[in-house]
Structure 1
Amino acid sequence: MATMNVSLPEPMKDWVEAQSRTGRYANASDYVRDLIRKDQDRAEKVARMQQLVNEGLDSGEASRTMDQLREDAIRMAKG
């Protein structure tokens, strides 16, 4: 595993150390790795959402009205 040194202001350093003392994380590195994993997951979700938005915009104008969409959604929800 690679090593990386990070400089933090004292309040942030205290926060990280406090998180590891809760027992949820083994140490400060474990906490930082968890933050990075969560940020990676969030970035992937944002990219996927942007992809879906672009697909929707590229698909053109819908042929069904809002009332038809609503009726279809209600019908699908009822099973």
Structure 2
Amino acid sequence: MDDPNTTLTVTLGDLAGKVEERVRSGEYGSPSEVVRAGLEALAREERAFEAELKAKVEEALADPRPSIPAAEVFARLRSRLDEREAREGETV
């Protein structure tokens, strides 16, 4: 699909109405423009998510506090879950 004029058939289902609405409003000149804009927005969202994830990983790696062993993390989570289940059991 290196050709920018490649034709692709897509089933939009319930989204077809939204595409038609955008074209009718004059916001976009064709359904193709709507789909292209949607794909560009998705690409921006993915880039933003990856940048945020990368920043969080870098922050975690730079954290000087000692690591917590996985077994301890899972034990803490299990304890919290048990406490929550006990509280919910009391209110039912």
2:39 is the alignment partner of 1:32: no
**Which runs of 5 or more structure 2 residues have no equivalent in the other structure?**
66-92
Offset of 1:3 from its aligned partner?
Answer: 1.6
2:12 is the alignment partner of 1:8: yes
**Which runs of 5 or more structure 1 residues have no equivalent in the other structure?**
63-79
- Deviation track 1:7-55 (CA, whole Å, cap 9, x = no partner) reads 122x421221111111110111101100100010010000000000000
1:21: which partner in 2? Answer: 24
Greater relative contact order (Cα < 8 A, sep 6+) = 1
2:90: which partner in 1? Answer: none
Q: Which runs of 4+ in 1 moved over 3 A?
A: none
2:75 is the alignment partner of 1:61: no
RMSD: 1.4
TM-score by length of 2: 0.61
For 1:60 and 1:13, locate their aligned partners in 2 and report how far apart those are by CA, in whole Å.
48
